[in-house]
Protein backbone atom coordinates (compact mmCIF):
# COMPACT_ATOMS: atom_id res chain seq x y z
CA UNK A 1 0.00 0.00 0.00
CA UNK A 2 1.39 3.42 -1.00
CA UNK A 3 1.37 6.07 1.74
CA UNK A 4 2.63 9.61 1.77
CA UNK A 5 3.65 11.52 4.89
CA UNK A 6 3.81 15.22 5.57
CA UNK A 7 5.30 17.58 4.51
CA UNK A 8 4.16 17.27 0.92
CA UNK A 9 5.21 18.95 -2.29
CA UNK A 10 3.81 18.84 -5.80
CA UNK A 11 6.16 17.41 -8.41
CA UNK A 12 6.50 18.95 -11.90
CA UNK A 13 4.16 16.27 -13.27
CA UNK A 14 1.46 17.21 -10.74
CA UNK A 15 1.88 14.29 -8.33
CA UNK A 16 2.29 14.54 -4.56
CA UNK A 17 5.60 13.49 -3.08
CA UNK A 18 6.93 13.55 0.44
CA UNK A 19 9.31 16.44 0.98
CA UNK A 20 12.38 16.33 3.17
CA UNK A 21 11.70 18.14 6.47
CA UNK A 22 14.81 20.32 6.19
CA UNK A 23 13.85 21.38 2.66
CA UNK A 24 10.32 22.17 3.85
CA UNK A 25 11.62 24.36 6.70
CA UNK A 26 14.09 26.09 4.37
CA UNK A 27 11.17 26.83 2.04
CA UNK A 28 9.29 28.39 4.97
CA UNK A 29 12.32 30.51 5.86
CA UNK A 30 12.56 31.70 2.24
CA UNK A 31 8.87 32.63 2.32
CA UNK A 32 9.42 34.50 5.59
CA UNK A 33 12.42 36.33 4.07
CA UNK A 34 10.23 37.51 1.18
CA UNK A 35 7.25 38.63 3.29
CA UNK A 36 6.94 42.02 4.97
CA UNK A 37 5.94 42.29 8.62
CA UNK A 38 2.78 44.16 7.59
CA UNK A 39 1.53 41.56 5.10
CA UNK A 40 -0.42 39.74 7.81
CA UNK A 41 -1.04 42.12 10.74
CA UNK A 42 -2.16 39.22 12.93
CA UNK A 43 1.11 37.36 12.27
CA UNK A 44 3.80 40.03 12.08
CA UNK A 45 6.33 37.46 13.31
CA UNK A 46 6.09 35.70 9.91
CA UNK A 47 7.28 38.62 7.79
CA UNK A 48 11.06 38.93 8.05
CA UNK A 49 11.82 40.79 4.82
CA UNK A 50 12.81 43.97 6.64
CA UNK A 51 15.05 42.07 9.05
CA UNK A 52 16.81 40.22 6.22
CA UNK A 53 17.31 43.49 4.33
CA UNK A 54 18.69 45.18 7.46
CA UNK A 55 21.07 42.26 8.05
CA UNK A 56 22.21 42.50 4.41
CA UNK A 57 23.31 46.10 5.01
CA UNK A 58 25.37 45.28 8.11
CA UNK A 59 29.07 44.50 8.00
CA UNK A 60 28.57 41.61 10.36
CA UNK A 61 29.21 37.89 9.87
CA UNK A 62 26.81 36.38 12.43
CA UNK A 63 23.18 37.47 12.70
CA UNK A 64 21.95 36.32 16.12
CA UNK A 65 18.82 38.54 16.07
CA UNK A 66 17.79 37.17 12.68
CA UNK A 67 18.33 33.60 13.90
CA UNK A 68 16.15 34.31 16.94
CA UNK A 69 13.42 35.87 14.77
CA UNK A 70 13.38 32.87 12.42
CA UNK A 71 13.17 30.44 15.35
CA UNK A 72 10.36 32.47 16.92
CA UNK A 73 8.45 32.35 13.62
CA UNK A 74 9.01 28.62 13.23
CA UNK A 75 7.75 28.15 16.79
CA UNK A 76 4.60 30.13 16.00
CA UNK A 77 4.05 27.85 12.99
CA UNK A 78 4.37 24.76 15.20
CA UNK A 79 7.72 23.61 13.84
CA UNK A 80 9.15 21.86 16.87
CA UNK A 81 11.79 19.47 15.55
CA UNK A 82 14.03 21.80 13.54
CA UNK A 83 15.73 24.94 14.79
CA UNK A 84 18.06 27.42 13.13
CA UNK A 85 21.44 27.19 14.81
CA UNK A 86 23.11 30.05 12.94
CA UNK A 87 22.65 32.66 10.23
CA UNK A 88 25.84 33.93 8.65
CA UNK A 89 26.57 36.34 5.81
CA UNK A 90 27.03 34.64 2.46
CA UNK A 91 27.94 35.99 -0.94
CA UNK A 92 26.17 38.25 -3.43
CA UNK A 93 24.05 36.14 -5.79
CA UNK A 94 23.69 36.59 -9.57
CA UNK A 95 20.88 39.09 -9.04
CA UNK A 96 22.95 41.35 -6.77
CA UNK A 97 21.23 40.16 -3.58
CA UNK A 98 23.06 39.33 -0.35
CA UNK A 99 22.71 35.69 0.61
CA UNK A 100 22.73 34.15 4.05
CA UNK A 101 23.92 30.70 5.06
CA UNK A 102 21.39 29.02 7.34
CA UNK A 103 22.46 26.15 9.60
CA UNK A 104 19.51 24.05 10.83
CA UNK A 105 19.59 21.25 13.38
CA UNK A 106 16.89 18.68 14.08
CA UNK A 107 15.99 16.98 17.35
CA UNK A 108 18.43 14.13 16.65
CA UNK A 109 21.33 16.57 16.22
CA UNK A 110 21.51 16.19 12.43
CA UNK A 111 22.60 19.44 10.80
CA UNK A 112 21.82 20.73 7.32
CA UNK A 113 22.75 23.90 5.54
CA UNK A 114 20.77 26.11 3.23
CA UNK A 115 20.97 29.46 1.55
CA UNK A 116 18.44 32.30 1.64
CA UNK A 117 18.69 35.52 -0.36
CA UNK A 118 17.58 38.91 0.94
CA UNK A 119 14.99 40.61 -1.28
- Tens digit of each residue's pLDDT (9 = 90 or more) over 2-19: 444 556 667 788 877 777
Residue 57, SS3?
helix
> For the chain, what are the domain ranges?
21-117
Q: Mean pLDDT across the stretch 41-54? A: 94
The model carries a pTM of 0.84
Give the per-residue pLDDT at 99.
94
Buried b (16+ CB within 10 A) or exposed e, 25-53: bbebbbebbbbebeeeeeeebbbbbebbe
Condensed to tens digits (0 to 9), the pLDDT of residues 82-107 reads: 999 999 999 888 888 899 999 999 99
The mean predicted confidence, pLDDT, of the chain is 89
CATH for 21-117, among 3.10.450, 3.40.198, 1.10.3470, 1.20.120? 3.10.450
Amino acid sequence: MLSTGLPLRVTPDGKLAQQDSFDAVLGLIKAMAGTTATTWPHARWFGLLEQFNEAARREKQDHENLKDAINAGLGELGVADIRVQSVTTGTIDGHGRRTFQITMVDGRGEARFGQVAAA
